[in-house]
Amino acid sequence: MKIKLCLLYGGKSAEHEVSLQTAKAVTQALNTEKFAIFPIYITKEGKWIKGKELIESIKDVKELTFKEDGEEIVPHALNASLALNEEKSSNYDVIFPLLHGPNGEDGTVQGMLELLNIPYVGNGVLSSSAAMDKVIMKNLFAQEGLDQVKYTWFIRSTWEAAPERAYEKVESELGYPCFVKPANLGSSVGISKCDNRADLENAFSEAFKYDRKIIIEEGVTAREIEVGVLGNDYPECSVAGEIVPKKGFYDYQSKYVDGNTELVIPADISAEEYTELRSMAVRAFRSLDCSGLVRADFFITNDGRTIINEVNTMPGFTPFSMFPLVWKHTGVDYPELIERMIHLAVERHQEKQNIIHTF
């Protein structure tokens, strides 16, 4: 019998379009002889719209953005469980949340799936929420003893009450250059590089458009290296890949629009550097209690420091994204990678069924 797989994508997030690209790529890789594929599109307003079973791969993302007329609509997130768990929904075997950013990658959807007791691909509630908030993540990495750049953070009300004090704190503790980011967003949305006070003021305003909390990180001169991690209790690491922006830094435009970035896989690093990266990636994975997958991002500085930047619990996942590419160079192609992630989801779910809930 086919595995009944539900794809969740879209989402109420600034990374909505990235999620659509991910969903399209996954439909093109799934074997329809093994999987019965059922799509649920989450609009930018948070409505859940069920589509019909996909019997062939999607060629254009427009095919995935179902309209409200003629489709089954679940208008409120509190009723989303009906879309996933009612009898006529086919009682899905596994849910694959192809969601990037808030309201999907941050533990919210994962919590609902836990309550429904349905296997789902990727990280659980704690790891998803902790990794989404860059401040919490970095605090946990610090407790683990992982080397990081200097950082500070603010919530909107603190900044609005005393903006000059906020800017002075950044200048005294971090200096220039520095990077200002929304704390709870990915795909380089809302990120600015700052070389002076004017840049910093503009960057605060830009980042606060996307979140109530922002993080500011010290700028370093370094190579950007990424490693894929796959597994549950016994995670494995891929080869390393290097991001080489042709100009500026690796922003949203470079990632998704102009292709103005080179990915070098495997990265030209020493065996000792790779061993250190792999060790730190696994430590980061375990410190957040991750499961399924993460992409771990690092800096290797000119003086030889290996610094962890962050982990991403649902990284870019098209065949041309770094996470699938480093696994391809490790010997795991895109369709096999997807199937391994689904298997890991079922494995984790089955283990949880052994936990007793009475005393």
- Of residues 254 and 159, which shows the higher confidence score? 159
Least confident of 5-14, 43-52, 74-83, 166-175: 74-83
Told to judge if 187 belongs to the known catalytic residues of this protein, a careful annotator would answer: yes
- pLDDT above 50 (res 256): no
CA distances from 353 to 126, 189, 299, 338 (A): 18, 38, 39, 23
Give the ranges where 78-162 is alpha helix by DSSP (H).
Answer: 80-85, 108-116, 125-132, 134-144, 156-161
The answer to whether 220 is annotated as binding is yes
Confidence of residue 279 (pLDDT cuts 50, 70, 90): very high
For the chain, the average pLDDT equals 90
Confidence of residue 88 (pLDDT cuts 50, 70, 90): very low
C-alpha to C-alpha distance for 199 and 180, rounded to whole angstroms? 10
pTM attached to this predicted model: 0.88
Looking at residue 281, its pLDDT comes to 98
Task: Quick: pLDDT tens for 230-253.
Answer: 999 999 999 999 999 876 554 545
**Rounded mean pLDDT, 346-353:** 95
The answer to whether 228 is annotated as binding is no
Question: Strand (E) positions, the chain?
Answer: 3-10, 35-42, 48-50, 72-74, 94-98, 151-155, 178-182, 192-194, 213-218, 222-231, 236-245, 261-264, 292-301, 306-312
Told to judge if 291 belongs to the known catalytic residues of this protein, a careful annotator would answer: no
Looking at residue 286, its pLDDT comes to 98
- Tell me, what DSSP letter sits at residue 228? E
- pLDDT above 80 (res 351): yes
Per mean pLDDT, which of 15-24, 69-78, 104-113, 171-180 is the most reliable? 171-180
Looking at residue 249, its pLDDT comes to 52
Which of 13, 192, 287, 321 is the catalytic position?
321
Which pair of structure tokens corresponds to residue 74? 């679940």
The answer to whether 168 is annotated as binding is no
Which of 13, 15, 129, 273 is the catalytic position?
15
The answer to whether 181 is annotated as binding is yes
Bond before 266 cis per omega within 30 degrees: yes
The answer to whether 219 is annotated as binding is yes
Q: Which domains does the chain have, with CATH numbers?
A: 3-120 (3.40.50.20), 150-218 (3.30.1490.20), 222-351 (3.30.470.20)
Looking at residue 85, its pLDDT comes to 57
- pLDDT above 60 (res 187): no
Q: Are the CB atoms for 318 and 187 separated by under 8 Å?
A: no
- Of residues 257 and 51, which shows the higher confidence score? 51
Q: What is the signed CA dihedral for 128, 130, 135, 138, rounded to 10 degrees?
A: -100
C-alpha to C-alpha distance for 274 and 255, rounded to whole angstroms? 24
**Rounded mean pLDDT, 8-20:** 91
% of the chain with per-residue pLDDT over 70:
89
Residues forming a β-bridge with 216 = 152, 180
For the residues of 306-352, what is the DSSP string, one character each? Answer: EEEEEEESS---STTSHHHHHHHHHT--HHHHHHHHHHHHHHHHHHH
Which of 13, 19, 187, 291 is the catalytic position?
187
- Of residues 333 and 68, which shows the higher confidence score? 333
- pLDDT above 50 (res 89): no
Confidence of residue 184 (pLDDT cuts 50, 70, 90): confident
Per mean pLDDT, which of 11-20, 68-77, 299-308 is the most reliable? 299-308
The answer to whether 291 is annotated as binding is no
Which pair of structure tokens corresponds to residue 102? 């808030």
Task: Quick: pLDDT tens for 196-211.
Answer: 999 999 999 999 999 9
Confidence of residue 69 (pLDDT cuts 50, 70, 90): low
Which pair of structure tokens corresponds to residue 338? 């997807």
